[in-house]
């Protein structure tokens, strides 16, 4: 409540929280007006996680803190749906394809969540984290270039980039359609779990795995960046999108976002800013993408 630690812990060390004043939460939950909610608080009738809260400046994290009034729990009504898909290779990012190619729509629960659409796109041959939602505001905020939502990719490339070439990516590499923003770039060793999704049979001779964090989303951005330093991308995988990390899914499976994940991306959108730590600050979460679904968690094959 009003602290960053709980959410940060749940988000694998990311310091992102979505908090709001308790009286605003109560008003939005339909308990009473803002003033009426303040009166309920000062009367000692409001509890957060079981503790009476009378201080008017107190904050809560929607979707994480349990707020009760006279013993009854109140949540914020929001019927937006959020689904994480582990996109397999060979599917185009569209909800219908006139040419009849396999498309991601067939992998996600569009009947259960009418209006679901993908937030951004991955190329047909790219694998990994693709977010779907019914909430246009959140999608716009996550995609808006000014919000600098970081995305993490792992690429198998032909040849081994030199230190100088990696530095070019960090400085902002010149591409055919303009200069890319500075990226976080480094090589991954073949036994790094994060490299697994692009390795298959192992690392072929004279190839390398590049870890790349970017916050731009131009078409074929990663392929163009790596091409510009002289290396062709043979396989590409995304394992992070803003505060979300691909976890608990096998290729072709989807799951709803957890409450904490949902609160993080809604928080990102409501703050109108995005400051998820780039890859280096979240090393602890590496390699989760290929993990088998955890027992008891709802996962689905599309």
Residues 227-286 that bind ligand URA (CB under 6 A): 236
Q: How far is the CB of 217 from ligand URA (least distance, A)?
A: 7
Query: At CA 242, angle to CA 241 and CA 247, rounded to 5?
Result: 50
58 binds ligand URA (CB under 6 A): no
Complex with ligand URA: residue 88 or 293, whichever CB lies closer: 88
Least CB distance to ligand URA at residue 122 (A) = 4
| Cβ distance to ligand URA smaller for residue 122 or 245 | 122
Of 23 and 126, CB closest to ligand URA:
126
The count of residues interacting with ligand URA (CB under 6 A) is 8
Residue 221: CB atoms within 10 A of its CB come to 19
Find the shortest distance in angstroms from Cβ 227 to ligand URA.
9
User: Cβ(209)–Cβ(156) under 8 Å?
Assistant: yes
Contact 200, 159 (CB under 8 A): no
Q: Kindly state the smallest distance separating residue 127's Cβ from ligand URA, in Å.
A: 9
Contact partners, residue 92, CB within 8 Å, separation at least 6: 101, 102, 103, 104, 124
How many Cβ atoms sit within 10 Å of the Cβ of residue 264? Answer: 27
Are 248 and 299 contacting, i.e. CB atoms less than 8 angstroms apart? Answer: yes
Pattern 162-201, ligand URA, x by CB under 6 A: ----------------------------------------
Q: Strand 178-179 vs strand 174-175: parallel, antiparallel, or unpaired?
A: antiparallel
From 19, 126, 211, 247, residue interacting with ligand URA (rule: CB under 6 A) = 126
Contact (CB, 8 A) for 84 and 244: yes
Q: Among 53, 85, 212, 222, which residue interacts with ligand URA (rule: CB under 6 A)?
A: 222
State CA 272 to chain mean position distance: 16
Interface residue with ligand URA among 144, 220, 288, 300 (CB under 6 A) is 220
Alpha helix ranges (H) inside the chain? 5-10, 22-28, 34-42, 136-143, 163-171, 196-199, 221-228, 259-271
State which of residues 60, 67, 122, 208 lies at the interface with ligand URA (CB under 6 A): 122
Residue 70, CA atoms < 13 Å, CB-side half-sphere: 4
221 binding ligand URA? (CB under 6 A): yes
State which of residues 207, 223, 231, 235 lies at the interface with ligand URA (CB under 6 A).
223
Q: Least separation, in Å, of the C-beta of 90 and ligand URA? A: 13
Which lies closer to ligand URA via its Cβ, residue 46 or residue 194?
194
Residues classed as catalytic: 123
Residue 152 DSSP SS3: strand
Reading the block at residue 163, the tokens are 């230190």
* Binding site residues, ligand URA, CB under 6 A: 122-123, 126, 220-223, 236
């Amino acid at each position: 409540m009003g602290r960053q630690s709980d959410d940060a812990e749940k988000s694998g060390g990311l310091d992102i929280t979505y908090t709001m004043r308790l009286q605003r939460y109560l008003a939005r939950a339909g308990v009473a007006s803002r003033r009426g909610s303040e009166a309920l608080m000062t009367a000692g009738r409001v509890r957060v996680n079981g503790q009476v809260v009378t201080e008017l400046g107190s904050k809560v994290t929607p979707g994480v803190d349990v707020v009760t009034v006279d013993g009854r729990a109140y949540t914020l009504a929001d019927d937006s749906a959020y689904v994480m898909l582990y996109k397999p290779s060979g599917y185009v990012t569209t909800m219908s394809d006139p040419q009849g190619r396999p498309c991601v729509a067939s992998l996600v629960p569009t009947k259960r969540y009418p209006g679901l659409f993908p937030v951004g796109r991955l190329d047909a041959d790219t694998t990994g984290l693709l977010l779907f939602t019914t909430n246009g505001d959140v999608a716009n905020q996550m995609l808006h270039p000014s919000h600098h939502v970081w995305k993490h990719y792992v690429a198998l490339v032909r040849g081994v980039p030199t230190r100088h070439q990696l530095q070019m990516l960090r400085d902002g590499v010149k591409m055919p359609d303009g200069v890319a923003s500075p990226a976080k770039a480094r090589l991954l060793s073949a036994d790094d779990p994060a490299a697994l999704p692009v390795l298959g049979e192992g690392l072929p001779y004279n190839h390398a795995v590049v870890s790349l964090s970017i916050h731009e989303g131009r078409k074929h951005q990663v392929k163009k960046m790596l091409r510009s330093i002289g290396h062709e991308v043979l396989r590409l995988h995304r394992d992070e999108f803003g505060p979300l990390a691909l976890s608990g899914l096998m290729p072709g499976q989807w799951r709803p976002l957890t409450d904490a994940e949902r609160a993080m991306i809604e928080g990102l959108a409501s703050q109108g800013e995005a400051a998820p730590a780039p890859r280096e600050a979240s090393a602890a979460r590496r390699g989760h993408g290929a993990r088998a679904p955890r027992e008891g968690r709802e996962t689905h094959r599309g």
